[in-house]
Amino acid sequence: MPAWSSSWQLPDQIADVLPSEARHIEELRRLFLDTARSYGYELVMPPLLEHLESLLTGTGEALDLQTFKLVDQLSGRTLGLRADTTPQVARIDAHLLNRSGVARLCYCGPVLHTRADRPHATREPLQFGAEIYGHAGLEADLEAQRLALDCLKAAGVTDLMVDMADVRIVASLLAGASLGASTLAHIHAALAAKDASELGSLLASLSGGISSAAREGMMALLQLYGDEQVLLEAEKALPRLPGVHEALQNLKWLASHAPDVKVSFDLADLRGYAYYSGARFAIYGQGAELARGGRYDEVGAVFGRNRPAAGFSLDLKELVSVLPPRPLKAAICAPWGDDAMLNAAIARLRANGETVTCVLPGHENEVNEFDCDRELALKAGQWVVQPRH
């Protein structure tokens, strides 16, 4: 096969973004950053790669497996291409800003995954996120949810639903058990799949330390999903362990303060990275999961500052894929020429925010991303904008 025949092919689940979609993504990026700024969030830009131990320490095996690794030709040390931006923002909060009070930080940039986290997804998401450090109260959790919802509403997403859970429920039920990371991962997978047979077998195989009430509570989690009635059922079905009771009360409070949006619960849902430490949420709309977030108080501990933290992130590429395409951008067509008055008129229009496309000789009938609904025409010695015929 000739070398040129495959030179243009990209790796699996890596793709170019073409003009119409790229414009949509960029418009949403600006919109989301402006929305975050309206809440008081400051923009940070962490590097795409850094030393692997800094990138992954404390984040769990799942993120390690998602991370591309390479050797730095300058130092000989192993580097990682970030698969998630939150650990980097935690490092910035802990070591570079080092503020004693609240820090609100947002970001938007590419992340890379060794494998896509769902069928047909890209391995190069464009991750937007916002995080609040330094406040342990539920007000921070609620602010993260509200900002995520406001971003999605501004993007035109309708029929939004927030699904909530709390990782402390499962952690409290399993607190006395002696189990390794592999067993815990299998338990989480069985809970996510609602696989009662597999979960029962895994719990039976534990070497001890888990009470019969905790085992029954774990099995009950498989049925504890739905509307707010789930929280009442959970109070009856789950043992009154401190972590379980606090988690249920927090979920009640968050649900009661949720904005005008549908709320549901799935108390067996533990999806996401290992650094979540409390209430977590996923936001659905357009038939897909669009954003994910929650509380992750431990994420900065490895950097020497164990600060309270909550936030969310989403993939702009995935969001654009489920939204209706944008209409063509309105523009003004102008003839190409050396006339000083013509060029001055074009400059004024562009300075006022208009898109002006100069039609090069011989290309009068070409179609591109712009809808030239007006044209610049010479009338009585003046260049004026008029509707295009």
Tell me what pLDDT residue 356 has: 95
Report which of residues 16 and 182 the model is more confident about: 16
Question: For residue 348, what pLDDT is reported?
Answer: 96
Distance (Å, whole) CA 108 – CA 333 = 33
Task: Please give the CATH superfamily to which domain 159-285 belongs.
Answer: Bira Bifunctional Protein; Domain 2 (3.30.930.10)
Phi first, then psi, for residue 292 (nearest 5°) are -145, 140
Known binding positions = 84-86, 127, 131, 271, 275-276
Across 25-54, average pLDDT: 96
Q: Identify the band that residue 327 occupies on the pLDDT scale cut at 50, 70 and 90.
A: confident
Tell me what pLDDT residue 179 has.
79
| Residue-level pLDDT at 39 | 98
- 206/333: higher pLDDT: 333
- Calculate mean pLDDT across residues 21-39: 97
Per-residue burial over 225-248, b = 16 or more CB atoms within 10 Å of its CB, e = otherwise: beeeebbeebeebbbebebbbebb
- CATH fold of 11-158+292-326: BirA Bifunctional Protein; domain 2 (3.30.930)
* Mean pLDDT to the nearest integer, 16-41: 96
Q: Backbone phi, then psi, for 49, in 5-degree steps? A: -135, 150
pLDDT of 383 above 70: yes
For the cut 70, the answer to whether the pLDDT of residue 5 exceeds it is no
pLDDT tens for each residue of 119-136: 788 999 999 999 999 999
Binding-site annotation, residues for L-histidine:
84-86, 127, 131, 271, 275-276
Neighbours of 84 (CB within 10 A): 23
User: At 56, is the pLDDT very low, low, confident or very high (cuts 50, 70, 90)?
Assistant: confident
Per-residue pLDDT for 176 more than 80?
A: no
Confidence check: pLDDT of 209 > 80:
no
Predicted confidence at residue 59, as pLDDT, reads 61
DSSP-assigned states of every residue in 157-196:
--S-EEEEEEHHHHHHHTTT----HHHHHHHHHHHHTT-H
CATH 3.30.930.10 occupies which residues in the chain? 11-158+292-326, 159-285
Phi first, then psi, for residue 353 (nearest 5°) are 95, 5
The 8 Å CB, 24+ separation contacts for 290-295 are 290/152, 290/157, 290/314, 290/318, 290/319, 290/322, 291/148, 291/151, 291/152, 293/129, 293/144, 293/145, 293/148, 294/141, 294/144, 294/167, 295/140, 295/141
